[in-house]
């Protein structure tokens, strides 16, 4: 009897660094970090700030993107994400600067850390170790330590559960956002149920993640979403880039309606290469839902393939984690279809080696 490639155990031998185990560890990452919330000691000064700046690169910045879109209706302070060497000019002693680096050695983050030190900002560090933690200890900055036991692959992008919860926990302890424990408990239950549907033991015909991975094989992926899901979609895109070594880009509604729809005519060959994935939610503003359907219509009329994914869980927090978890499985399966180990990032490593 024929077995799909993703239903064959031999396909999973490519995963030499246990990326799949990191995908499965998402609930442990969330729950494990959340349990340590009361252990995080942050000074009162961090409660009295005027703005929040999160500095991080690549996988270490993903958590902040998720939090910014997920908590846009709760966070009463402006939050800016810096993917660069320098802090914005306005950052001063009334700013909360969150420095995020999984390795603790990211050069852009270390450079920004020196600027935060010079400006006497309120600083909190999120890291697994390295020079950043040493700098924090020297300056008596609070440190939220990321635990490798929750990320068997040791890939920063696969620590997404910890990355998101770490930023949430810092903001929560500083009194800038409130997250109910009951919601976190419900999210963990949802994710465990979702894993039963998306895991490798669920056959291809019954597995939405495996089916989407096959659709995206050898395709360039254009992802469209809105509102609370934009950060989660960015995580999905990032993991397609790094895990599946696939070109993927993200566009947000309603902004894309003002330019992208006219940018799909040429080159004509793009219709063979591009596939659009549209993320839908019953929580979207009605005008966004209307725009989403019209956007899908316009893209389809121009001859492109489109897959629409509707969030199935209830509530903002649940839908965000549902999308992130789905992306982890899809990117992993797509890597296997491309016959590659999802862990190594040779071109990023090459680039970093040439910078030294």
Domain ranges of the chain: 17-179, 202-337
Domain 17-179 has CATH 3.40.50.10490: yes
* pTM: predicted TM-score of the whole model, two decimal places: 0.96
**Under a CB-based contact definition with an 8 Å cutoff, are residues 274 and 223 in contact?**
no
CATH class entry, domain 202-337: alpha beta
User: Who's near 154: CB < 8 A, 6+ residues apart?
Assistant: 17, 148
User: Who's near 129: CB < 8 A, 6+ residues apart?
Assistant: 103, 104, 145
Going from the C-alpha of 296 to that of each of 152, 182, 235, 289, 292, the distances in angstroms are 38, 36, 22, 11, 6
17-179 against 202-337: fold identical: yes
> What does the pLDDT profile of the chain (356 residues) look like in tens digits?
678 999 999 999 999 999 999 999 999 999 998 887 767 888 888 899 999 999 999 989 999 999 999 999 999 899 999 999 999 999 999 999 999 999 999 999 999 999 999 999 999 999 999 999 999 999 999 999 888 899 999 999 999 999 999 999 999 989 999 888 899 999 999 999 999 999 999 999 999 999 999 999 999 999 999 999 999 999 999 999 999 999 999 999 999 999 999 999 999 999 999 999 999 999 999 999 999 999 999 999 999 999 999 999 999 999 999 999 999 999 999 999 999 999 999 999 999 899 87
The sign of the torsion formed by the CA atoms of 11, 3, 211, 316 equals negative
10 CB-contact burial (10 Å; exposed 0-12 / middle 13-18 / buried 19+): exposed
Report the C-alpha gap between 282 and 106 in whole angstroms.
Answer: 39
User: How crowded is the C-beta side of 25, counted as CA atoms within 13 Å?
Assistant: 22
């Amino acid at each position: 009897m024929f077995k799909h490639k993703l239903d064959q155990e031999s396909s999973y031998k490519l995963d030499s660094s246990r990326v799949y185990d990191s995908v499965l560890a998402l609930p442990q990452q969330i729950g494990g970090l959340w349990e340590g919330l009361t252990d995080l000691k942050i000074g009162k000064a961090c409660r009295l700030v005027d703005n929040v700046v999160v500095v991080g690169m690549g996988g270490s910045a993903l958590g902040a993107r998720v939090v910014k879109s997920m908590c846009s209706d709760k966070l009463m302070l402006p939050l800016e994400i810096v993917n660069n060497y320098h802090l914005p000019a306005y950052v001063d002693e009334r700013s909360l600067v969150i420095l995020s680096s999984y390795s603790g050695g990211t050069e852009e983050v270390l450079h920004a850390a020196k600027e935060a030190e010079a400006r006497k900002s309120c600083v909190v560090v999120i890291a697994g170790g390295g020079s950043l933690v040493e700098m924090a200890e020297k300056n008596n900055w609070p440190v939220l330590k990321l635990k490798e036991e929750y990320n068997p692959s040791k890939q920063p992008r696969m620590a997404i559960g910890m990355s998101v919860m770490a930023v949430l926990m810092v903001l929560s302890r500083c009194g800038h956002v409130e997250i109910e424990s009951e919601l976190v408990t419900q999210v963990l239950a949802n994710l465990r149920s979702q894993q039963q549907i998306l895991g490798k033991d669920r056959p291809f015909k019954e597995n939405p993640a495996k089916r989407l991975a096959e659709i995206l094989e050898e395709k360039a992926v254009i992802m469209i979403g809105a509102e609370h899901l934009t950060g989660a979609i960015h995580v999905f895109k990032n993991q397609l880039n790094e895990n599946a070594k696939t070109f993927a880009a993200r566009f947000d509604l309603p902004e894309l309606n003002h330019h992208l729809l006219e940018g799909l005519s040429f080159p004509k060959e793009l219709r063979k290469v591009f596939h659009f994935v549209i993320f839908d939610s019953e929580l979207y503003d009605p005008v966004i839902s209307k725009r989403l359907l019209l956007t899908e219509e316009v893209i389809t009329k121009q001859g492109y393939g489109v897959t629409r994914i509707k969030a199935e869980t209830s509530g903002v927090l649940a839908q965000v984690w549902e999308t992130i978890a789905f992306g982890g499985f899809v990117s992993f399966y797509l890597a296997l279809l491309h016959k590659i180990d999802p862990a190594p990032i040779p071109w990023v490593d090459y680039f970093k080696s040439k910078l030294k």
